[in-house]
Each structure stands twice: as C-alpha cells, then as structure tokens.
Amino acid sequence: MASFTDLEVWKKARALRTAIKLLVTSFPNEEKYRLTDQIIRSSRSVGNNIAEGHGRFHYADAARFLINARGSAPETIDHLIIANDDGYIDKATLDSLAKDCEECMRMINGYITWLRKQSGD
C-alpha cells in the first residue's frame, strides 16, 4: 500500500470527520471553544493517528498510533452523548454517528491485528 489514503480504515475515519464537521455547524456559538472544539479534535485524531501510524517504519510503532486512534473514537462518542444530553443533536443522530465510531474501532482493531501478525507478535 503506497499511501495511508488507500486504507479503508482511514477512509472511514475521514467520512466520520466530515460528518462531525458538518454537524457542529448547528451547535450554539457559546460551544465554539468547548464542545465544538473538543468533538472536532477527537474526530480528527482518529484519522490523524491512522495516517501517522502508517508512516512509521516499525510495525510496533504503527500499532501504538492505531491504539491512540482507537481511543479517540469512543472519546468522540462521549462528546456526541454530551451533545445529545444538551439538546444539540437528537438520539437518531447520536446513534448513527456512534455506530460510525464503533465501525472505525472495529476496523482499527483489525488493522492492529494485521500489523501484529506482520511483526511476528
């Protein structure tokens, strides 16, 4: 694989990031430096860490970045729960985007497993 942009898991993370970016445009202005900033950062972190891990020379280094990416997905779900609790998004939106985050986690887990097999762990 020549580029991280060829990875299906990165493509899924990119779609999640894009959906979150569109979503937060409806959040109130007073959330700009609170919830909006946090959810954008966590959703970006998923793809950013996948990309950085892909650029690492050793499989173990790559896996560490993927573990970070996997951690950012449930963080994003928590921010979505807060947005739902505060009335900024409805339950259907929460459920749909949480499902996307969970799919990213499953795909990341598969990538980590593949990396560990490549390294002989």
The pLDDT tens digits of the residues spanning 85-114 come to 999 999 999 999 999 999 999 999 999 999
**Is the pLDDT assigned to residue 2 strictly greater than 90?**
no
Domain 4-119 class?
Answer: mainly alpha
**Is the pLDDT assigned to residue 119 strictly greater than 70?**
yes
15 touches 50 (CB < 8 A): no
Query: What ranges in the chain are assigned the alpha helix state H?
Result: 8-23, 37-54, 59-85, 91-119
What average pLDDT score do residues 4-28 get?
Answer: 97
The pLDDT tens digits of the residues spanning 46-86 come to 999 999 999 888 888 899 999 999 999 999 999 999 999 99
Hunting for tokens 């990396």 — which residue is that? 115
Domain ranges of the chain: 4-119
What average pLDDT score do residues 8-24 get?
Answer: 98
pTM: 0.93
pLDDT of 74:
98
CB burial of residue 80 (10 Å; 0-12, 13-18, 19+): buried
Tokens of 47: 């793809």
Over pLDDT 90: what percentage of the chain? Answer: 87
